[in-house]
Chains A and B, each alone.
Chain A
Amino acid sequence: GAGVSQTPSNKVTEKGKYVELRCDPISGHTALYWYRQSLGQGPEFLIYFQGTGAADDSGLPNDRFFAVRPEGSVSTLKIQRTERGDSAVYLCASSPRTGLLSGANVLTFGAGSRLTVL
C-alpha cells in the first residue's frame, strides 16, 4: 500500500483480556518494527522483523507480549492478560531491508493503535 496501515486505530479493553494489533507495512519493505509510545514519552522499541523472523525482540517488556509476521508482510502484535500499564499508542514502522546504508534506517510509521486498558 501507499503507507503503513495499522488497525484498530483505537482499542479499549478490560484488564486481563487478550488484544491483537495489526500492521500492514509498505509493499516491498522487508523490515518491520513495533514501538510503544506512552503519554508524554518518545517511542520505545519493542521488536523488529527482517522478513518473517524476529531479528531482535529485546524490547518486549515481558512474555505477555508476542509478535508474528508469518508471511513476511502483515504483522500482528499480541498482548495477553492485559494490564493497565499496557495502555499506550503502539506504533508500527517499516523500511527497506537492512544493510543498505542509504535507506535502511529511515522508518515510515503508521498512525498507531491507541490501546486503553480499563
Chain B
Amino acid sequence: AQSVAQPEDQVNVAEGNPLTVKCTYSVSGNPYLFWYVQYPNRGLQFLLKYITGDNLVKGSYGFEAEFNKSQTSFHLKKPSALVSDSALYFCAVRDSGSGNTGKLIFGQGTTLQVKP
C-alpha cells in the first residue's frame, strides 16, 4: 500500500538554526513527492516538488528538500529558520495509480515551532 510517514508530530528549533522536517514514503514506481505548508485558517500552500532530476529540490521561502531513493525519504530543510516559518507542514506523494493527477496521499503533518 502507498503511504507517507512523518515521524515527528512537532519539531522545535531556535530562530537562525537549521531545520529539518522528516518524511519517508512507500509507493510503487517512481515517486512524485511534495511538501505543503498550512498556516492557521489558511489553505495549504505548495512549497516544492520532486518529479525527476536533481535530488536536491529548491522551493519557496528558502526551503529545500532532498530526495533519497535508497532511504525512501524526502526531508524538508532550511539553512536558517525564521519565526514566521512556524506552521504545519505536510509531505505528500502522488497516488501512483491515478495517472498524472493531483490525487495525493498526505502524511499526518509535522508542526514546526521556531522560537526567537
Contacts and interface: CB of A to CB of B under 8 A. Distances in A.
Interface of A: 3-4, 31, 33, 40-45, 48, 55-56, 91, 93, 95, 98-101, 104-112
Contacts of B103: 33, 45, 48, 56
A110 B42 CA distance: 8
B99 A98 contact: yes
Given A43-B106, A99-B100, A106 B46 contact: yes
A45 B92 CA distance: 11
A109 B44 contact: yes
Contacts of A91: 43-44
User: Which DSSP category, helix, strand, loop or mixed, fits chain A's interface?
Assistant: loop
A105 B43 contact: no
B22 interface: no
A104 B106 contact: no
B98 A41 contact: no
